[in-house]
Amino acid sequence: MAAFPLSARTSSMPTLSSSTQTPSRDAGMSLVNLAARQRMLSQRMVLQSVLAARGSDLHLKAARSSLTLFTDSQARLMDTPRHLDAASAEIIRRAYHGPQGVGATIDAFAQQVSTALDLAERQSPRVEDALARLVESTDSVLEALNTATTAFDQVNKAQSETLMKELAGIVASIQTVAREAKVVSFNAQVMAARAGQHGREFAVVANVLSGITNEIDGLSLQAVSLAGRSRTGA
């Protein structure tokens, strides 16, 4: 691989965007999106490390910021099994720590970035070899991060499917109650009619109950439609 020439530190080189989200801003980010962002960060760090080794203090700072975000995000992702159901937790554990687990590959990559940045900051001649190894690891770390993202996507889809099944069960229960309420309302109207003048107030209540059951039917149909659209879009 071609050597990366070292030069005096400067901030005049073309800059990469160094704006990164802080961990606190990540609080609302889905795990799938967080895992997917790790892929982008891995490539950003490689390029920033190369530019830092060429003498850019700006890119050295940006690379360290990206590395912090990467490692913090990775720690959060690997901690998620504690907050998941048993089946979902096993999917994530297997992705990171199973026989084909990718956790070690990702950790080794982060360590390679850290080493390269330390050497670049000291302007050590060994930075060229460190960068060569870092660039050579790009494909393997991308494959590892893709595997992790796929695992989180699998968990997300499974959770969505479970939620839709629960919603469908709730809707079915509501519809059952609505049907029973309709029967009660109809019987009440019949009894009110038989009672004549004495059943007028009872008839009013029965009619109100009938209106409520019709509204419940409408809402149930909306919920069924929403569940169907959500399942299709998952």
Kindly state whether residue 10 falls inside one of the protein's structural domains.
Answer: no
> 112, 137, 156: which is the final residue of a domain?
156
User: What was the pLDDT predicted at 191?
Assistant: 73
Query: Residue 179: which H helix or E strand, with range?
Result: helix 138-195
Provide the sign of the torsion angle of the four alpha carbons 24, 28, 31, 32, taken in this order.
negative
Name, in order, each residue with C-beta under 8 angstroms of 222's C-beta and a sequence gap of 6 or more.
none
CA distance 121 to 10: 12
What percent of the chain has pLDDT above 70?
79
CA distance 78 to 103: 8
Whole-angstrom CA distances from 150 to 41, 70, 146, 195 are 17, 18, 6, 67
140 and 184 part of one domain: no
Domain count, the chain: 2
More confident residue, 12 or 212: 212
> 156, 179, 201: which is the final residue of a domain?
156
193 and 147 part of one domain: no
Q: Which is nearest to 96 in space by CA: 74, 115, 112?
A: 74
pLDDT in tens, 149-158: 999 999 988 8
Kindly state whether residue 17 falls inside one of the protein's structural domains.
Answer: no
Name, in order, each residue with C-beta under 8 angstroms of 59's C-beta and a sequence gap of 6 or more.
13, 15, 16, 18, 48, 51, 52
Kindly state whether residue 169 falls inside one of the protein's structural domains.
Answer: yes
pLDDT in tens, 29-61: 889 999 999 999 999 999 999 999 998 999 999
Provide the sign of the torsion angle of the four alpha carbons 89, 90, 91, 95, taken in this order.
positive
Domain of residue 168 covers 163-233
